[in-house]
């Protein structure tokens, strides 16, 4: 299927695959034709309310079919889809709203004890943003200023003229990911990138309309968006979307729907392998292919998956590359899949450089720089662009690793100060900034520490003010939650210390903190 604009994907998929099931979540399902009708209805409503090309359509939702339909609707009219992961709370949402300045917002009235519409109203007011449209997906709750999103059965208003989709090289998708900067970074992707990302799963793994995928990650995350929307629209595979991670539910769905492939962080693979090993005698249908990225994946885990009959492979991707930098071809050996992080994707180049920027020989560790079709147009922050891109198009990934002569990549570490918790990346600096608001804290430093299940978890070192009592971990946790920090960012390990080592210029020496932590008595 030759499509160059993201806004044409839904129509082309509906024409080719029609009534074939596109996506399912629980008892709700859509065919490819259903998706086209629903997204066109939403697109017409957006246009009628004044939303136009290049404007941002923001979604703050958990895994729901509405994220897929609204993204497709935004692309159809040349707008920019901005799905936001629901782990973010008012602290992060306020930063995103101020940066994206959305023309339309889609959310739920509530999520657990949170009142999402109220949070967004406050963030919009603080940023001075007045959207043309505010949509709720809840049929049973009315809130002033918010209207109900067109239902899946809604017919498009044919009296409304839809604007043209954006050109292949123009922004169509914006994802916010926290890295070495404090605030979430706005990653701007065009149609070239997102379509390329989806098609790689056909080109490398032969995923096609005979396959059924499982979307495990949040669909507002690049991994979840690939599994739930981009791969189905480009390859014709159906998808079952898991509302939230539950390994027993995942294994049951894989068996019931004879699911053939999935992708996500190593924690998902680890949980499934352990579940299959426990239930080996039950004759369950085992997931056929799994691409593991977003966090370190041990060779042993890939080998255990292989022993169960599951083809699993490590991969290298990031939001800035539409999720795909390196991915193993289907015929790759177990040794390659277990010991390397994929083979460079089509039209992708990698250059390994030393601290002075000079290129290094094959299989020599250095900083990984890449360029290719799938790379971001840029960040929303020009200063980050300046720091990340070279004049000839090379992008500094912030990762350490090596590349072989035949294009296989191995990741050995990271240069950026980010924490990678189960595939969700966020800034330690952001957590430090919030901790420094605590009245009893003189200074704080946050770093990633190894976690067997999630890859990494959050550790904080605290220096109390001399006149204050040392705050307890319970009180510190309560403070961060009261400050509306995402729960995933809250440290699970705390250390009260007398001082935090710094350089002469005042930069925290986190390698010394890590060494100090390693010397601590785990039973203390």
Helix (H, G, I), strand (E, B) or coil at 52: coil
Contacts of 521 (CB under 8 A, 6+ apart): none
How far is residue 273's CA from residue 287's CA, in Å, rounded to a whole number?
A: 10
- Asked if domains 245-414 and 420-519 share a fold, the reply is no
Residue 297: per-residue pLDDT: 82
Residue 295: per-residue pLDDT: 59
Query: In terms of DSSP bridges, do strands 171-177 and 185-190 run parallel, antiparallel, or are they unpaired?
Result: antiparallel
Residue 524: per-residue pLDDT: 43
Q: Is the pLDDT of residue 306 over 90?
A: yes
Q: Is the pLDDT of residue 220 over 90?
A: yes
Q: Is the pLDDT of residue 502 over 90?
A: no
Q: Is the pLDDT of residue 182 over 70?
A: no
Greater model confidence, 524 or 346: 346
Q: Which pTM does this prediction carry?
A: 0.85
Residue 433: per-residue pLDDT: 83
**Tell me: the pLDDT tens digits for 356-399?**
999 999 999 899 999 999 999 999 999 999 999 998 999 999 88
Q: Can you tell me which residue has the tokens 């306020």?
A: 94
The topology under which CATH files domain 420-519 is GMP Synthetase; Chain A, domain 3 (3.30.300)
Range 29-56 average pLDDT: 98
Q: Is the pLDDT of residue 201 over 70?
A: yes
Range 65-74 average pLDDT: 98
**Residues forming a β-bridge with 425:** 420
Q: What percent of the chain has pLDDT over 70?
A: 96
Q: What percent of the chain has pLDDT over 90?
A: 80
How far is residue 239's CA from residue 241's CA, in Å, rounded to a whole number?
A: 6
Q: Is the pLDDT of residue 505 over 50?
A: no
Query: How do the domains of the chain map onto residue ranges?
Result: 6-162+171-192, 245-414, 420-519
pLDDT band at 511 (very low <50, low <70, confident <90, very high): confident
How far is residue 139's CA from residue 58's CA, in Å, rounded to a whole number?
A: 19
User: Please, are residues 215 and 241 in contact by the beta-carbon 8 Å criterion?
Assistant: yes
Pick the CATH number of 245-414 from 3.10.180.10, 3.40.50.12780, 3.30.450.90, 1.10.287.130: 3.40.50.12780
Residue 507: per-residue pLDDT: 57
Q: Is the pLDDT of residue 181 over 60?
A: no
Architecture of the 6-162+171-192 domain: 3-Layer(aba) Sandwich (3.40)
Task: Give the closest residue to 87 by CA, choosing from 189, 253, 224.
Answer: 224
CA gyration radius for the chain? Answer: 23
How far is residue 227's CA from residue 213's CA, in Å, rounded to a whole number?
A: 7
**Tell me: the pLDDT tens digits for 231-284?**
999 999 999 999 999 999 999 999 999 999 999 988 899 899 999 999 999 999
Q: Is the pLDDT of residue 47 over 60?
A: yes
Task: Give the closest residue to 520 by CA, choosing from 500, 494, 491.
Answer: 494
Residue 180: per-residue pLDDT: 42
Residue 258, class by beta-carbon neighbours within 10 Å (0-12 exposed, 13-18 middle, 19+ buried)? exposed
For 391-407, the DSSP string reads TTS-EEEEEEEEE-TTS
Greater model confidence, 505 or 321: 321
pLDDT band at 512 (very low <50, low <70, confident <90, very high): confident
Average pLDDT, the chain: 93
pLDDT band at 523 (very low <50, low <70, confident <90, very high): very low
Residue 1: per-residue pLDDT: 64
Greater model confidence, 413 or 462: 462
Contacts of 83 (CB under 8 A, 6+ apart): 58, 59, 61, 67, 71, 175, 219, 220, 225
How far is residue 315's CA from residue 360's CA, in Å, rounded to a whole number?
A: 22
Residue 504: per-residue pLDDT: 43
Residue 258: per-residue pLDDT: 98
Residue 361, token pair as written in the block: 């020989």
Residue 429: per-residue pLDDT: 77
- The highest-confidence range among 44-58, 266-280, 423-437, 494-508, by mean pLDDT, is 44-58
Greater model confidence, 30 or 518: 30
From residue 281, how far is each of 253, 274, 285, 429 by CA, in Å? 18, 13, 11, 47
pLDDT band at 521 (very low <50, low <70, confident <90, very high): low
Strand order in the sheet with 212-215: 28-31, 21-25, 238-241, 212-215, 261-264, 289-292, 311-314
Task: Give the closest residue to 79 by CA, choosing from 186, 127, 187, 7.
Answer: 7
Residue 294: per-residue pLDDT: 59
Q: Is the pLDDT of residue 178 over 70?
A: no
Residue 115: per-residue pLDDT: 94
**Tell me: the pLDDT tens digits for 431-480?**
988 998 898 998 899 999 999 899 999 999 999 988 878 899 999 999 99
pLDDT band at 412 (very low <50, low <70, confident <90, very high): confident
Residue 518: per-residue pLDDT: 83
Residue 443, class by beta-carbon neighbours within 10 Å (0-12 exposed, 13-18 middle, 19+ buried)? middle
Q: Is the pLDDT of residue 413 over 80?
A: no
Task: State phi, psi for 15 to the nearest 5 degrees.
Answer: -65, -35
pLDDT band at 149 (very low <50, low <70, confident <90, very high): very high
Range 307-325 average pLDDT: 95
């Amino acid at each position: 299927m030759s499509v160059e604009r993201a806004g044409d994907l839904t129509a082309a998929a509906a024409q080719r695959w029609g009534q074939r099931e596109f996506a399912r979540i629980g008892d709700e399902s859509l065919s490819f034709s259903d998706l086209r009708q629903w997204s066109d209805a939403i697109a017409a409503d957006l246009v009628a309310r004044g939303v136009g090309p290049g404007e941002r359509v923001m979604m703050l939702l958990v895994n729901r079919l509405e994220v897929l339909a609204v993204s497709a609707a935004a692309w159809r009219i040349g707008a920019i889809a901005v799905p936001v992961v629901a782990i973010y709370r008012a602290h992060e949402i306020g930063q995103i709203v101020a940066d994206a300045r959305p023309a339309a917002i889609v959310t739920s009235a509530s999520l657990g004890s949170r009142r999402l519409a109220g949070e967004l109203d406050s963030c919009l007011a603080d940023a001075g943003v007045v959207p043309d449209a505010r949509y709720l997906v809840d049929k049973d709750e009315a809130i002033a200023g918010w209207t109900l999103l067109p239902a899946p059965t809604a017919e498009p208003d044919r009296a409304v003229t839809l604007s043209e989709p954006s050109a292949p090289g123009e922004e169509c998708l914006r994802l916010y990911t926290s890295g070495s900067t404090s605030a979430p970074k706005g990653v701007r992707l065009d149609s070239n990138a997102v379509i390329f990302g989806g098609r790689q799963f056909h080109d490398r793994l032969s995923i096609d309309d005979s396959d059924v995928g499982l979307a495990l990650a949040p669909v507002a995350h690049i991994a979840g968006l690939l599994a739930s929307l981009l791969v189905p629209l480009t390859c014709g595979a159906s998808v079952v979307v898991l509302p939230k991670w539950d390994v027993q539910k995942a294994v049951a769905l894989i068996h019931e729907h004879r699911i053939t492939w999935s992708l996500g962080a190593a924690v998902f693979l680890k949980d499934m392998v352990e579940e299959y090993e426990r239930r080996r005698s039950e004759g369950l249908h085992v997931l056929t292919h799994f691409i593991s990225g977003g966090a370190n994946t041990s060779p042993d885990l890939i080998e255990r998956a292989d022993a169960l009959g599951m083809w699993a492979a490590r991969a290298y991707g990031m939001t800035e590359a539409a999720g795909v930098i390196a991915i193993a071809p289907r015929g790759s050996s177990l040794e390659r899949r277990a010991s390397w992080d994929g083979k460079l994707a089509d039209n992708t180049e990698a250059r390994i450089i030393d601290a002075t920027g000079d290129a290094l020989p094959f299989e020599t560790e250095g900083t990984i720089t890449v360029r290719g079709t799938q790379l971001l147009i840029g960040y929303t922050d020009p200063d980050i662009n300046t720091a990340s891109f070279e004049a000839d198009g090379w992008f500094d990934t912030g990762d350490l690793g090596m590349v072989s002569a035949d294009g296989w990549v191995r990741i050995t570490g990271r240069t950026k100060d980010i924490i990678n918790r189960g595939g969700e990346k966020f800034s330690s600096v952001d957590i430090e900034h919030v901790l420094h608001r605590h009245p009893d804290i003189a200074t704080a430093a946050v770093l990633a520490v190894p976690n067997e299940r999630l890859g990494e978890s959050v550790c904080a070192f605290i220096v109390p003010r001399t006149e204050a009592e040392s705050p307890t971990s319970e009180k510190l946790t309560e403070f961060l939650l009261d400050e509306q920090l995402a729960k995933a960012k809250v440290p699970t390990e705390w250390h009260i210390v007398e001082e935090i080592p710094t350089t002469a210029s005042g930069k925290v020496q986190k390698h010394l903190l890590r060494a100090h932590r390693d010397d601590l008595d785990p039973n203390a």
